[in-house]
Amino acid sequence: MSDDVIGTVVQRTQPVRHPFYVNTGIGMHAGLGQQNYRDEPDKTPSSQIPLTRDKSSTTSRLLTMQEIHSIVDKDTLSELRAIMKDRRDRRKIIQQRHLKKKQKMAEDLVHSIPKLRNEIEQLQLRRLSLRERLPTENVWFTAIEYFRDFQYGLPVLATSQTLVSEFLSATMAPDLDIGARSGIEALTKSWRIFAHAFPGGHIQLESLRQLTSFCLVATTRTSVTLTKQTLQYLFHRLADGSEANSKRRENIFARLLDQRIVMCGSVRFDWDDTSKRVIGLYTHVDMLSPMLTLLGNLEDVSFVFSGALITPDGDFSTKKANEPWRE
């Protein structure tokens, strides 16, 4: 083959990798199509980046698609498009796999709920069988079991509610005095209100102290969150949609919303040694102090508790309460 023929052969360029970068100090594809843009600046479109062989510059940037079209041949451009399509397809496959994995995880969690509920009920039954072996004719035992059963309010599961009902029937007098009301049913309703008003509430037993042989006092710490549901359910003035006091109501609501408060309290157990049951159960919870801390003045505290379902000492007005758990 003669030198003239060899001289017309264009050297095959290396496959172009995506993304394209241009270095303003190094020319790219300068020999492509035997055209040198440095020698023919008048033919360089304004959208293209002038390429130079000055190696002192090191600034790089991504090329635009218009620039790529102007400096590569059709074969290279087709290869680039194939690479980009392959990457898009791979990303799509990865996203689909990730989505399927998340869906499977959610399905597994849903399927595990009945199993967990069954395990909880089995544990509750096992605890009941162990409790039946302990001496029940004791105010100390009754107080400890009372806080264990109601530490999160009234249990949700039907089996647990049955166990709690049996415990109350076995340890509390039918005409149990709880302050403004009496009876086991009134006590149970108060716990239903607590569970509805404070879904994440927790009552922690701090100490037990025996005042007399027939009187035991427990100190407690109750932690609750003032959610939107809590504020609207317990404090009717904050749920009032009237124009009167609307700005004040909105301001108070904003200051209380989603606040976690801790209330110190006490519970007194009066014991009847003849019937071996609790005849008096008196609960006091200091809700006034944390509310005063949040609102900063007694006027706003008084506004909140006016007509409320709960008193500053933590007592529920069961006559005012609606019963959404029955709906």
Residue 201 makes CB contacts below 8 A (sequence gap 6+) with 152, 153, 194, 195, 222, 223, 224, 225
Upper half-sphere CA count for residue 27 (Cβ side, 13 Å) = 14
Residue 291's pLDDT band, with cuts at 50, 70 and 90, is very high
pLDDT at residue 42, as a whole number: 46
* Residue 89 placed within a domain: no
* 157 and 280, same domain (yes or no): yes
* Residue 106 placed within a domain: no
Q: What is the pTM of this model?
A: 0.59
* 155 and 274, same domain (yes or no): yes
Residue 88 CA: distances (Å) to CA of 17, 77, 79: 15, 16, 14
* 153 and 37, same domain (yes or no): no
* Residue 103 placed within a domain: no
* 201 and 320, same domain (yes or no): yes
Tell whether the model's pLDDT for residue 21 goes beyond 70: no
* Residue 250 placed within a domain: yes
* Residue 85 placed within a domain: no
pLDDT at residue 48, as a whole number: 43
* 277 and 181, same domain (yes or no): yes
Of 29, 57, 72, the one marking the end of a domain is 72
Question: Which domain does 51 fall in, by range?
Answer: 3-72
Bridge partner list, 283: 267
Residue 261 three-state SS: strand
Average pLDDT over residues 262-271: 97
Phi, psi of 283, deg, nearest 5 = -110, 135
* Residue 118 placed within a domain: no
* Residue 132 placed within a domain: no
Tell whether the model's pLDDT for residue 70 goes beyond 80: no
Average pLDDT over residues 271-288: 94
Residue 289 CA: distances (Å) to CA of 81, 193, 280, 298, 303: 69, 21, 26, 10, 15
Q: Report the number of distinct structural domains present in the chain.
A: 2
Q: Which residue has the tokens 């009134």?
A: 186
What's the CATH code of the domain at 276?
Answer: 3.10.450.50
